[in-house]
Amino acid sequence: MKTIIITGASNGIGRAIAKALRKKYKIINIDVVKEDIKDVSFYSCDLSSRKELLETIKKIKEEHHTIYALINNAAIFTHKPLEEQTIKEWNKILNINLRAPYILSKKFAKRLKKSKGHIINISSTRAIMSEKGTEAYSASKGGISSLTHALANSLSKEIKVNSISPGWINTNKEYIPTKEDKEQHLSGRVGTTKDIVDAVKFLLENRGFITGSNLTIDGGMTKKMIYI
């Protein structure tokens, strides 16, 4: 079985991706929080710590000699007024959401080249649109989108590098979207984790002509003009 690394696979979108791919691939989950998923290997790592991340990468290389894909999914989000934001918070968000994907891509590049594999970065529609109080997260996702096409150039022709920009993906099974929630979308519904899983599967099967691209999975929300 081919090996795929997923960061932040203990919860949310990452967990859904891991569970969907585990029958076909050998899955490695790098996360700070351990949530047992059957047939998924777990490596504990605080992705905001460069030291911990480099140690984890070394351990994975010692135990797994081939890597087919790297899915940079882990991210943290804060939503608070600009005047209340701190540089410490800014650094932590950028370190997890942007620096870690860069380091992982760089350190696993040789193995991904050998397998002619994939890097899939989970970006966000917040890379191109924002709401107040989300400076660090939005900046990190804008960076991820740019990192994607830069890596696609640097790692061509052996590695396919693409990103996915989810919109509103409901990862809370207890939350039932309202009529108003659904009507915000051209699709008439809020997104589910399966929508992202389907996109990941599609990219993993792509034979190489799709690279440096971003798939926006948002039910059309970013294409809907709103007048108040």
Q: Which residues are catalytic?
A: 137
* Cβ count near 172 (within 10 Å): 7
**Distance in angstroms between the alpha carbons of the first and the last residue of the chain:** 52
What amino acid is encoded at 49 in this protein?
A: S
Two tokens, residue 169: 């993906």
**Contact criterion met (CB below 8 Å) for 5 and 71:** yes
Decide: residue 187, CB within 10 A, 0-12 exposed, 13-18 middle, 19+ buried: middle
Residues 6+ positions from 228 with CB-CB distance below 8 Å:
none
Q: How far apart are CA 135 and CA 140, in angstroms?
A: 9
Residue given tokens 């203990």 in the structure block: 10
Q: How big is the chain, counted in residues?
A: 228
* CA angle, 6 then 7 then 11, to 5°: 100
Q: How far apart are CA 75 and CA 123, in angstroms?
A: 9
